[in-house]
Amino acid sequence: MPGKLIQYFNCRILWKHKLIREDLWVRDGKIQNPRKLFFDECVMPDQRIDCGNHILAPGYIDLQLNGAFEFDFSSNLTGIEEGLKKVSYGLLQYGVTSYCPTIVTSPASVYKQILPKIKRKNGSLAGAGILGLHLEGPFISIEKRGAHPPDHIIGLNGFNTVLETYGSLDNVAIVTIAPEVDHAGEVIKKLREREIVVSLGHSTANLQQSEKAVCEGATLITHLFNAMLPFHHRDPGIVGLLTSSEIPDNQQIFYGMIADGIHTNPAALRIAHRAHPKGLILVTDAISAMGLSPGVRKLGQQLIRIHDHAAYLDGTNTLAGSIATMPHCVRHFHEATGCSIEEALEAATLHPAQCLGIEKQKGTLDYDSDADFILLDDELYVLATFIAGDCAYDPYSIAPTNCC
């Protein structure tokens, strides 16, 4: 028997790249086609929820999250299950309904401890869903390592190196690799055969090397502009992929951007967006200080000072990493580029889903997709978060009391 049918009304929903005034119908965790409900089933809703003329959009998807709420996916080797629960639940307040826990460059022993314990799972009232791991390293350029520990960066000696290093690829969704390293092409092809997205990053690659990697199957760029050669008019490097004429016709290039107002200048955001808007994906790349109140905290072996949407090594002006939340990135991207609200929202919903090839289930409000969505005001602040049609976060009592 079908479950309870819920009608969300008095809202503007993100539908086919436009905000339109329409109701949203949900049953059994899926978005329903109202025509079938009316004409085929002749049913009425069991519950109606007034959305207060707010925006109803798909839940945010973060493809690059290193940690949050004092938990780091790469270094907290004990209590991984509890840490995942804490992060997944905390993300609901930011409208994130699915994400990829990200492991930075680490020794093989760490990968083999962590990877089996972080498995794909659907979101629930207990927290955001896990779409698979993003392994950022260790097959990267030591010159463009950023905050990655140099002692654990290694070269490739074929695909066996990947298997020996990670131990298992069962729970992996994305691997970041520098395309200029030896045997990168072979590895990219093997990863794609396993339906793992290959991202190019932490790299000194020129444009020709980058184009070759795309032809071999790479489809994503890890945090564009950060940890790669700067744009040069004679050889734009990885950045040149945004307008390259060598991309296969059947292949889409996506690229992550940290739109926190700190890691990427607004002018760079505008350049990237105007060059290739359909490939832009907002990522937080947040560290374990995300979600913590301002002040000095000890994270790992370092004292971190949290101030004004940024985290610094205490006593210095050195950035310790991003602490941006996804709603902040969406708002900043919208303001900095002058893009439409629809474009800003799709950069954090539709595009990451398309990148992972899950756009029929996530990142849209299309019929039969998962009913993971958020309620936003006109300034794009999150008012409520819904997973499978159930209210998972509602601090303002937007939904009826029997919904949450």
Binding-site residues for Zn(2+), in ranges, read 136, 202, 223
CB contact at 8 A, 4 and 29: no
Q: Where are the alpha helices (DSSP H) in 69-139?
A: 80-91, 108-114
Q: Please list the residues that pair with 5 across neighbouring strands.
A: 27
What is the C-alpha to C-alpha distance for residues 146 and 125, in angstroms, rounded to an integer?
Answer: 36
CB contact at 8 A, 108 and 164: yes
Strands 30-31 and 24-27 turn out to be antiparallel
What is the C-alpha to C-alpha distance for residues 240 and 228, in angstroms, rounded to an integer?
Answer: 12
The identity of residue 264, as a single letter, is T
CA-nearest of 228, 161, 172, 173 to 200 is 228
CA-nearest of 384, 301, 336 to 92 is 384
What is the C-alpha to C-alpha distance for residues 382 and 209, in angstroms, rounded to an integer?
Answer: 41
28 is catalytic: no
CB contact at 8 A, 268 and 225: yes
What is the C-alpha to C-alpha distance for residues 17 and 24, in angstroms, rounded to an integer?
Answer: 16
Cis peptide before 266 (omega within 30 of 0): no
CB contact at 8 A, 179 and 222: no
Among the listed residues 62, 260, 285, 390, the single catalytic one is 285
Catalytic residues: 285
